[in-house]
Amino acid sequence: MERSLVLVKPDAVERGFSGAIIGRIEEAGMKLIALKMLKLSRENAEQHYSVHSEKPFFPGLINYITSGPIMAAVFEGEDAINTIRKVMGATNPEKADTGTIRKDFGTDIERNAVHGSDGPETAAQEIKLYFSGIELQNYARK
Ligand code: IDP
Ligand code: MG
């Protein structure tokens, strides 16, 4: 069993795609165990994307991810990290496969609608950034 932290990014929330994006991941068999809407502070955004702090796109990325409300979710399931990244599609929506979230809901390589953790360690760190232990639910997915 694996967990992954998913964000519906501001462009997708603004255009009313929050439910559709969360739904796509549920339809892929993943169990939703936490969900909230929030607006990231610059400090938390910089922490979330700290691996990219030296990249040329970092300042723009921080401006974008703090520009409006986001949905933060935790999903649990078998091979959750890879399963979710497949449903998300490639970083650049133009290059994402047909039927993926980024192909259908992304705008461009920056405003690409969704974030999903890229490994078990990153997932654990990211989940801690957004949720406390009592916010993670335990139930059987039917
Ligand atoms: P990922 O979200 O598919 O894991 P990363 O390379 O980890 O992609 O990049 C993190 C986020 O930074 C992307 O989802 C996207 O919003 C943004 N980003 C990545 N590459 C670029 C770029 O070349 N220009 C602008 N924004 C980018
Ligand atoms: Mg990444």
Q: For residue range 57-94, what is the model confidence (pLDDT) as tens digits?
A: 999 999 999 999 999 999 999 999 999 999 999 999 99
State in Å: Cα 126 to ligand 1 middle: 16
Active site residue 48: no
Q: 115, 116, 117, 126: which is the annotated catalytic residue?
A: 115
Q: Is the CB of 95 under 6 A from ligand 1?
A: no
Residue whose CA is closest, atom 9 of ligand 1?
Answer: 91
Q: What is the pTM of this model?
A: 0.98
CB 13 within 8 A of CB 40: no
How far apart are the CA of 140 and the centre of ligand 1, in A?
34
